[in-house]
Amino acid sequence: MKHRVVITGMGIYSCIGTTREAVCASLYEGKSGIVYLPERKDFGYRSALSGWVPTPDLKKCLGRRERASMGQESEFAYVATLEALEQAGIDEAFRAEREIGILYGNDSVAGSVIEANDKIRHKKDTTLVGSGSVFKTMNSTVTMNLSTLFELRGVNMSISAACASGSHAVGLAFMLIQSGWQDCIICGGAQEINLFSMGSFDGLGVFSMREEEPTAASRPFDAARDGLVPSGGAATLVVETLESAIKRGATPLAEIVGYGFSSNGDHISTPNAEGPARAMERALKNAGMKADEIHYINAHATSTPIGDANEAQAIFHLFGSETPVSSTKGMTGHECWMAGASELIYSTLMMQNDFIAPNLNFENPDSYSAKLNIIAQTKSTPIGAFLSNSFGFGGTNSALIVKKL
C-alpha cells in the first residue's frame, strides 16, 4: 500500500525573511535579499556579493552547552524547525509518543572546521577547541543537533548532494513515508554564510561580478547574467502520511506527489540538459501526471550562463513554451544546500496565495530562455500543481512535484 504524503509544517529562515509571512510578502513584492559585504572583499573574494541572513539569538531558548555544538547552519536550521513544528502542531508531548525521523540536507561546515583548526594551529593544543567542536565540524551536524534537541527517534541522517541536498532530503522523506517505513519526518536543508563558507566556490569564477548593483546581480535566464550570488539560511518541512495528519487533527498544506532523480554521469561541475530532463520526466511518471498538468515550474536556474541555458533546454523539451517558469534565485541568490527545500516552501506559499513570484532581473532573454514562458513580474494566478528543480555539482539532479489539496 502506498501512503499519501502531505506537508503539515513549514519553517523558513532566509535572506528574504525569517518567517513564512515575511517571506511570502517578499516573494509577492519581488524583494531582493542580496547585499555587498566589504569583509569578503578584504578577505580575498573576487565577488563580495551575498544573500544576508541575520544571526539568530538562541540564548533565550538554548543553554551554553547545547549552543556549543551548533555551527551557523545548525542555528539556522533550529529556528526554521521551531517554526515548522509549531505550524504542524507537533509539541514535546507528541514527539515523546511518536517516532519522528529527520533527513536534512547539508554539504559543508567550513566555518566551524577552519575556526577549530586555526585555534589548534595557534595554541598547539587540541584540548582548547572545546568539547562541542567535534559536533560542529561534522557534515551531519544539523541532524546530529536537531535529533537530540527535539528528541527524535526515527530515521536520522544528513543528505550530502551539493546544491540538490535539500531537495533530495525531501524526496527521500517522501519515499520513506509513502512506503510505510515512517509516518512523519522533519526534512529540509541548511547553508552557512560565514566568511569561510564560499571562498573556494568564489575561486571557480562562477560568482556575479556586478558588485555595484547587488540587487540586480542575480539574473536567472537573462541574457546579461554573469554568474550566481551565494546565499544561505535554512528551510524545514514537516511531512507525514495523510492518515497521520487527519488522525491528529493537523491541517495538510499541500501534497507531495512525485520525486525524480538522476545523475548526469558527465562533467563534475558543468551541467547538461539530458540529466535534468530525466529527473523531471521521472518525477512526472512517479506522480502519474502529464506535463500539461503542471501549472508552474520553480527552476533551479542560478544565473550562470551554461547552467541556465541547459535547464531551459530541458524544460522546453518536456513542457514546451506554455508552462509558467520562474527562478526565485533572482531574489534570494543561490541558497545552495538549502535551495531545494527553501524553494519548495517558496512555491507552496505561492500556491497557497494564488500567485507566481517574479523571475527578478529578467529583462532580455537569450536564445534558450526565449522559448520559455518566464514570469518577469508577479502574476496572480491559481496553481494546482508545481514542479521544483534542484541540480548540483557531480551531476546530481532532483525534481519534486507538489499538488494543492
Q: Which residues are catalytic?
A: 163, 300, 334
* Cα–Cα distance for residue pair 187/159, rounded to 1 Å: 10
Q: Determine how many CB atoms are found less than 10 A away from the CB of residue 248.
A: 15
Backbone φ and ψ of 102, nearest 5°: -145, 130
CB of 282 closer than 8 Å to CB of 262:
yes
Q: For residue 136, give the amino acid letter.
A: K
- Helix boundaries (H) for 1-140: 20-29, 38-43, 64-67, 72-88, 92-97, 110-123, 133-136
* Cα–Cα distance for residue pair 169/342, rounded to 1 Å: 12
- Helix (H) / strand (E) element for 50: namely strand 49-51
Helix (H, G, I), strand (E, B) or coil at 388: strand
Which value, in Å, is the radius of gyration of the alpha carbons in the chain? 20
CB of 132 closer than 8 Å to CB of 69:
yes
Beta-carbon contacts of 19 under 8 Å, excluding residues fewer than 6 positions away, are: 12, 83
Query: What DSSP designation does 4 have?
Result: P
Checking DSSP bridges between strand 34-36 and strand 49-51, what pairing results, if any? antiparallel
Cα 264 to chain center, whole Å? Answer: 20
Checking DSSP bridges between strand 5-13 and strand 233-241, what pairing results, if any? antiparallel
